[in-house]
Chains A and B, each alone.
Chain A
């Protein structure tokens, strides 16, 4: 990303401007027999930092980002990735091999943006140096023939040489030009802020990238599901999943606690049932009581778009569902299991899957797997379905297994059973047993194995996400500074204006002499812009008019 070069050539003819980072990097290649190692490095550096390469890398980055929006990504939704792999056994593994399910952490994506960052640095460093020198040096001398410049105009004024030059200095200074004064001319330069803005923009991009990286290594996130009436303490073991950055010491997290008092949920029921909006979520709010390190408690609300801050991290309400209280008793009526058991919603109707794992059952462990349905209905093809996400006709639909719940002792999902070492319970007719339990109902298991009860009140659960990202504020500051720099570099104009005075070619010298030594002076104003500048001509005219007015005697 070398400087915009279209008029640099024109600039160079009038001053000592040097384009140190020419985009024609290989220009002296053919004449040299050997570049040597250092030369080769320099050649490579120039190629890498040339505008053309930057442009190519930019377009490549755009193209490379696209696959991540087409194929599911592990970092976002690992379940969809495994579903995709299960369905596409031919192309799936190949896509996986080339990182199409982890596009944004794949080596080829990283290669593109790292090269772009290097190119960016290769653009910023020499340009900053050049810009620094530019704003400290005087504007160039006025060229002899201003009429060669892209914009120029002239007029004869009735004032002396010195008065006109003084007026020109005042006019240019009032328009915030930096000046260089000669005997018969004034040069002015304005708009250095354009390049400053451009550099600010590019530096800000680097700041944003560094901030994102910092957030990645210094930030952490933990997710947890808390049922209504449940408690949670922010320590590593209490999170369902925790994903710390490589430089985060999870043992050192500030401890705090939270009690979920109530979760308020509402769904759209004011439209016809066949509208796509029917049953859409409308509001989620959690009433919580938080307690900090010193035991001070506070009642607060968490809702979507309104996270709370606790212990240096933000707590978000990102999910919700039902956690029906299931009671399993043995044949003597002794309670083996009683717990608010979270079920995971599968769709907008909140038909949810879950599992009840009764480890204390004898002689064999018992497991139940199936659905919780908030508004039960039966579909001929799909069996039990939910017609609405709210609690209208809740029911549990379960199948039952006996055997070893944790066959190899490995951790498993709380929402599914591993039935590898289990056998399914059969009903009286020899078919697999299917239990339909409604609130307050108790269903007996066959063979006197006990009973299953669904308690009357059905609590909800809140999916809380606790996140800390120290990079977010630097990233925001960088992005806003970049925006400011962008606006500066796109709207400000960089111009040089030269004013040259000369005695007017007098057609009647006698009349000039008669006016007591005052001379008529020819003022020529020329302008040169860096980059295109459709208003340059108008600006030059304006400056000439201002000089004429200021001398007080337009001829």
Chain B
């Protein structure tokens, strides 16, 4: 009895530590978002300085060689202006993102330790794990490529989810209901949250692609910061490559969920609202992949389908979990 009480006390301490870690992560990521914001806000001035310097270099070498076209060649050979200006604020943003990510991962791990199971049992836990996957995926990507321009568009959604988790979805650390006690919980829900994390990054890229397309077409004067981002075509391709990783993972989520449903409820497909929406999301993203290769469909229309897919993910998470009656009633709210 006493050991039991001790155990309970420990888990309360751990779950409090987990919650504090979440708050800390939210504060750090807020600062990261602001830093990325400052970096983007500086980008028009930076671009202006860059082009000014280029002109100077060209003029300098033009003075020496007396011929413009040779001067350009000289410039590339010396490589002098190829050293880009140091982006201090972006650097701060990246460092803070790493810190925020570690705090968020600590939140997830402490929660798991507090409840002695994978922390994937209710909406609060899905939200924190999904946010952790999102920022981790972004940071791992940033190790290979310079994606500092994307920072604010990933940290922003992650922060939003953290705040919703802390304020709306919060559920006390408890044990699971019988139907969730299965090793399929780790498999099915982990992959589901991972693929939602990737769909989130894909959503940001797709949205940026659509904005960039308008900026490039000159149909809007706003979004001056978009000049610091890659071209709309490249944004579209990046969005596509993220989606083609997320889509097979979502397919796997669907299959793993069906296997688990067979074990827990006796049939692999029950047209439960959650199943329906998982299927709807799958179909919409399948339509996106098809739309991209359909003759006569431009990338904009395909992008709209991808955005619709993400809207379905939001509905699946926020509406289906809370308002629809079904067998996936695990919100804990």
Q: Which residues of A contact B (CB under 8 A)?
A: 1, 4-6, 23-24, 51-52, 54-55, 58-59, 61-62, 65-66, 68-70, 72-73, 75-77, 80, 103-104, 212, 221, 268, 270-271, 275-277, 280-284, 303-307, 314, 316, 318, 465, 467, 469, 472, 475-476, 479-480, 482-483, 486-487, 490-491, 531-532, 534
Interface residues in B299-322 (C-beta closer than 8 Å to A):
305, 312, 320
- When C-beta atoms are compared, the residue in chain B nearest to A7 turns out to be B293
A-B contact pairs, 14 of them (CB 8 A): A5-B295, A51-B295, A55-B287, A62-B284, A65-B276, A70-B324, A268-B174, A276-B333, A277-B172, A277-B332, A281-B177, A305-B178, A305-B179, A305-B184
Query: Which of A59, A66, A281 has the largest count of B CB atoms less than 10 A from its CB?
Result: A59
Q: A6-B295, A280-B177, A534-B237 are in contact. Are A304 and B248 (CB under 8 A)?
A: no
Within 8 Å by CB of B248, from A55, A280, A490, lies A490
Chain B residues, Cβ within 8 Å of A70: 324
Cα of A499 to Cα of B47 in the assembled complex, Å: 42
Question: A282 and B333: CB pair below 8 A?
Answer: no
The reply to whether A316 and B290 contact each other, CB–CB distance below 8 Å, is no
Known A66-B276, A490-B247; contact A465-B258, beta-carbon cutoff 8 A = no
User: Measured between C-beta atoms, what is the minimum distance from B128 to chain A in Å?
Assistant: 18
Name the segment of B16-24, B74-82, B260-268 touching the other chain.
B260-268
B147 → chain A closest CB, angstroms: 16
Contact A69 B320 (CB under 8 A): yes
Our pick among A58, A76, A306, A469 for the contact of B286 (Cβ within 8 Å) is A58
Partner of B277, one of A69, A280, A283: A69
Query: SS class of chain B's interface: helix, strand, loop or mixed?
Result: helix
Complex contacts, A482 vs chain B, CB 8 Å: 251
Contact indicator A486/B266 (Cβ below 8 Å): no
- Residues on the B chain within 8 Å of A77, using CB: 325
Pick the contact of A54: B175, B178, B290, B320 (CB < 8 A).
B290
Contact of A483 among B244, B251, B284 (CB under 8 A): B251
Docked CA distance A435–B120 (Å):
46
- Contact indicator B178/A281 (Cβ below 8 Å): yes
Contact between B8 and A62, CB atoms less than 8 A apart: no
Confirm or deny: B259 has a beta carbon within 8 angstroms of a beta carbon on chain A: yes
Are B295 and A23 closer than 8 Å at their CB atoms?
A: yes
The answer to whether B271 has its CB under 8 Å from any CB of chain A is yes
What residues on B are CB-neighbors of A281 within 8 Å? 177-178
Inter-chain contact A76/B290, CB cutoff 8 Å: no
With a cutoff of 8 Å between Cβ atoms, the chain A residues found around residue B184 in the complex are 305
Considering only CB atoms and an 8 Å cut-off, how many residues of chain B contact the other chain?
57
Q: With A68-B276, A277-B172, A307-B263 as given contacts, are A55 and B294 in contact (CB-CB < 8 Å)?
A: yes
Select which of A52, A75, A104, A479 is within 8 A of B294 by beta carbon.
A52
B248 touches A483 (CB 8 A): yes
Measured in the bound complex, the distance between the Cα atoms of B175 and A336 in whole Å is 45
7 shortest interchain CB distances as A-B pairs: A4-B293, A69-B273, A304-B178, A69-B276, A58-B287, A316-B266, A62-B283
Complex interface: chain B residues within 8 A of A275 (CB): 172, 174
Report the separation of the CA atoms of residues A77 and B296 in the bound assembly, to the nearest whole angstrom.
Answer: 44
Whether B290 lies near A51 (C-beta < 8 A) is yes
Find the B residue at minimum CB distance from A67: B276
Partner of B237, one of A24, A476, A480, A532: A532
Please give the residue numbers on chain B whose beta carbons come within 8 Å of chain A beta carbons, in ascending order: 8, 171-172, 174-179, 181-182, 184, 237, 244, 247-248, 251-252, 254-255, 258-259, 262-273, 276-277, 279-280, 283-284, 286-287, 290-291, 293-297, 305, 312, 320, 324-326, 332-333
Q: Known contacts A483-B252, A486-B247: does B280 contact A76 (CB below 8 Å)?
A: no
Residues of B within 8 A of A305 (CB): 178-179, 181-182, 184, 263-264
A133 to chain B, nearest CB (A): 21
Which residue in chain A gives the minimum CB-CB distance to B279?
A65
Contact across chains for B295 and A66 when beta carbons are under 8 A apart: no
Most buried by B among A55, A103, A282, A303: A55
When distances are taken between beta carbons in the complex, the residues of chain A under 8 Å from B273 are: 68-69
- Residues of chain B contacted by A73 (CB below 8 angstroms): 271
Given A276-B332, A281-B177, A476-B259, 8 other A-B contacts at CB below 8 A? A5-B295, A58-B287, A268-B175, A277-B174, A305-B178, A307-B266, A469-B268, A472-B262
B175 surroundings in chain A (CB, below 8 A): 268, 282
Once the chains bind, are B280 and A62 in contact (CB under 8 Å)? yes
Query: Closest approach, in angstroms, between the C-beta of B73 and any C-beta of chain A?
Result: 20
Chain B's nearest CB lies how many Å from the CB of A83? 11
CB-based contact A59/B305 at 8 Å: yes
- For A24, the chain B residues whose CB sits under 8 A away are 295
Q: How far is the CB of A527 from chain B (nearest CB, A)?
A: 18
Please measure, in the bound complex, the distance between the C-alpha atom of A55 and the C-alpha atom of B333, giving whole angstroms: 38
Q: Judge whether A6 and B324 touch: CB under 8 Å.
A: no
Question: Which residues does chain B contribute within 8 Å of A58, judged by CB atoms?
Answer: 283-284, 286-287, 290
In the assembled complex, which residues on chain B have CB atoms less than 8 Å from the CB atom of A80? 325
Nearest CB of chain B from residue A357's CB, rounded to whole Å: 30
Residue contact B270 to A472, C-beta cutoff 8 Å: no
Task: Given A58-B283, A59-B305, check contact A271 B267 (CB 8 Å).
Answer: no
CB distance from B18 to the nearest CB of A (A): 17
CB distance from A268 to the nearest CB of B (A): 7
Q: How far is the CB of B246 from chain A (nearest CB, A)?
A: 11
**CA–CA, A59 and B265, complex, Å:** 29
- Inter-subunit contact A72/B295 (CB<8 Å): no
What residues on A are CB-neighbors of B177 within 8 Å? 280-282
List chain A residues, Cβ under 8 A from B262: 472
CB distance from A54 to the nearest CB of B (A): 7
Q: Pick the contact of B258 from A5, A479, A487 — CB < 8 Å?
A: A479
| B104 nearest CB across to chain A (Å) | 24
Q: How distant is A312 from chain B, measured CB to nearest CB, in Å?
A: 15
Nearest-neighbour CB distance to chain B for A109, whole angstroms, equals 11
Q: Are B178 and A76 in contact, with the CB atoms below 8 A? A: no
Whether B280 lies near A212 (C-beta < 8 A) is no
Residues of A within 8 A of B264 (CB): 304-305
Q: Which of A62, A277, A318 contacts B287 (CB 8 A)?
A: A62
Alpha-carbon distance A314/B263, docked complex (angstroms): 9
Contact B255 A483 (CB under 8 A): yes
A54 and chain B: residue at smallest CB distance: B290
Q: Residues of A contacting B326 with CB < 8 Å?
A: 69
B178–A283 CB distance below 8 A: yes
Q: CB-nearest residue of chain B relative to A61?
A: B283
B284 and A68: CB pair below 8 A? no
In the bound complex, CA of A23 to CA of B271 (Å): 34
Residues of B close to A282: CB separation below 8 A? 175-178
A531 and B324: CB pair below 8 A?
no
Residues of A contacting B172 in the complex (Cβ-Cβ under 8 angstroms): 271, 275, 277
Contact B265 A23 (CB under 8 A): no
Asked if B290 and A104 make an inter-chain contact with CB atoms under 8 angstroms apart, the answer reads no
CB contacts (< 8 Å) of A65 on chain B: these are 276, 279-280, 283
User: CB < 8 Å: which of B178, B265, B320 contacts A303?
Assistant: B178
In the complex, chain B residues whose CB is within 8 Å of the CB of A532: 237
Report Cα–Cα, A282/B179, bound state, in Å.
Answer: 9
Which residue of the partner chain, among B248, B255, B265, B293, contacts A487 with CB atoms under 8 Å?
A: B248
